[in-house]
Amino acid sequence: MNLTALIVTWNRLPQLQNTVKATLALPFQHIVIVNNGSTDGTKSWLDELGDSRIHKVHESENRGGAEGFYLGSKYISENIDTEWIVFYDDDAWPSADFIEQFKALNLSAPSVACTKVIDCDGKLCSMNLPWRKRMLSFKDNLEYIRYPENYTVEGDRPCEAITCSFVGSIVHAEILKKTYTQILRELFIYFDDVYYGYSLHLQGYSLRYYPSLIMYHDIGGRPKSTLPVWKSYYLVRNMFLSRAIFKEKSFFSVSAILFRTTKYFLIALKSPDKIKSVSILFRAIKDGITDNRDPFKQ
């Protein structure tokens, strides 16, 4: 069984070094690393690596994780003979028995396998949990606040999913070749993986969560109560874009968009520059409604 790792990085050389070390320890046939215009010495370090399995895709500027996964998927589809592609960021890595556990599943038909993503303390990473059903009504969204497990996959139970995360997704090469153009590179960051997985689900492809497949994600020290305004912009704009992308089958219902947008406004009100933060969120709403997918510029 032939597996290729696809890693996207930007200005996180220490984390990338740890990720590459863990990846090289596993029997991947190929390792594709997309460098999104890093300025911290990443390019020089990558160019010094001598392992023949490593393929480097250097970009001159950072166009976001979505662009990185699109370019990596394109490179693999056009240049590498492989069966399965494992997606992850520069601060994530597969467990030591990852490939052994994947082979034990004996998957033959083209499909998408979603892994169990945990942090360095062994706790589930909620940001990487695939959804298994959408929140459609006002009641659904209230329930999701208290019982998110009713809508996302559960930690230790295999189940079908309707989305995936680019930290830990394993996509069959046959599917990727046909669909990598559906990775929406213009989203920059946030929901690019959700929308890609949901698009595959709508096309009838199987997405399934396997908790025996462990991926580590080093998310330590990230603040939860505040967000940089540019990140808030993409979270809100890309959520509204769901209506333009999927039309009547939008992943996010109107109720879900209202709930989440309210949350980001409350976060913005805690910002040192409240006026700027709130105005950027209004711009995000406008751009999402008008289907403006241009990069964010402050």
Quick: pLDDT tens for 7-23.
999 999 999 999 999 99
Q: Which two tokens stand for residue 147?
A: 């019982």
What does residue 91 show for φ and ψ, rounded to 5 degrees? Answer: -115, 25
pLDDT number for residue 238: 97
Residues 64 and 195 in one domain: yes
Query: Could you report the per-residue pLDDT of 71-121, keeping only the tens digit for each?
Result: 999 999 999 999 999 999 999 999 999 999 999 999 988 999 999 999 999
Q: How confident is the model at residue 297 (pLDDT cuts 50, 70, 90)?
A: confident
Give domain status of residue 235, yes or no: yes
Is residue 65 within 8 A of residue 189, CB to CB? The reply is yes
CA–CA distance, 81 with 22 (Å, rounded to integer) = 23
pLDDT number for residue 222: 56
Residue 39 has pLDDT above 60, yes or no: yes
Residue 207 has pLDDT above 60, yes or no: yes
Q: How confident is the model at residue 226 (pLDDT cuts 50, 70, 90)?
A: low
pLDDT number for residue 225: 54
Give domain status of residue 101, yes or no: yes
Count of structural domains, the chain: 2
pLDDT number for residue 1: 82
Residues 145 and 241 in one domain: no
Give domain status of residue 222, yes or no: no
Q: Which residues pair with 293 in a beta bridge?
A: none
Residues 211 and 236 in one domain: no
Query: Could you report the per-residue pLDDT of 167-195, keeping only the tens digit for each?
Result: 999 999 999 999 999 999 999 999 999 99
Residue 155 has pLDDT above 90, yes or no: no
Residue 54 has pLDDT above 90, yes or no: yes
pLDDT number for residue 227: 76
**Strand, coil or helix: 210:** strand
Is residue 125 within 8 A of residue 91, CB to CB? The reply is no
Q: Cα–Cα distances in Å, from 117 out to 64, 192, 204? A: 22, 18, 25
Residues 28 and 110 in one domain: yes
Choosing from 167, 183, 217, the residue where a domain stops is 217
Residues 185 and 244 in one domain: no
Domain around 120 = 3-217
DSSP notation for 20-61: HHHHHTS--SEEEEEEES--SSHHHHHHH---TTEEEEEESS
Averaged pLDDT for residues 292-298: 87
Give domain status of residue 295, yes or no: no
Q: What's at 215, amino acid-wise?
A: M
Choosing from 194, 217, 240, the residue where a domain stops is 217
Is residue 70 within 8 A of residue 180, CB to CB? The reply is yes
Q: How confident is the model at residue 60 (pLDDT cuts 50, 70, 90)?
A: very high
CA–CA distance, 79 with 275 (Å, rounded to integer) = 48
Q: In Å, how far from its chain's centre is CA 185? A: 12
pLDDT number for residue 118: 96
pLDDT number for residue 272: 86
* pTM as predicted: 0.95
pLDDT number for residue 210: 97
Residue 223 has pLDDT above 60, yes or no: no
Q: Cα–Cα distances in Å, from 22 out to 15, 25, 47, 254, 271? A: 11, 5, 18, 42, 37
CA–CA distance, 94 with 196 (Å, rounded to integer) = 21
Report the CATH number that the domain containing residue 155 is assigned in CATH.
Answer: 3.90.550.60
Give domain status of residue 19, yes or no: yes
pLDDT number for residue 19: 97
Q: How confident is the model at residue 62 (pLDDT cuts 50, 70, 90)?
A: very high
CA–CA distance, 156 with 274 (Å, rounded to integer) = 41
pLDDT number for residue 179: 98
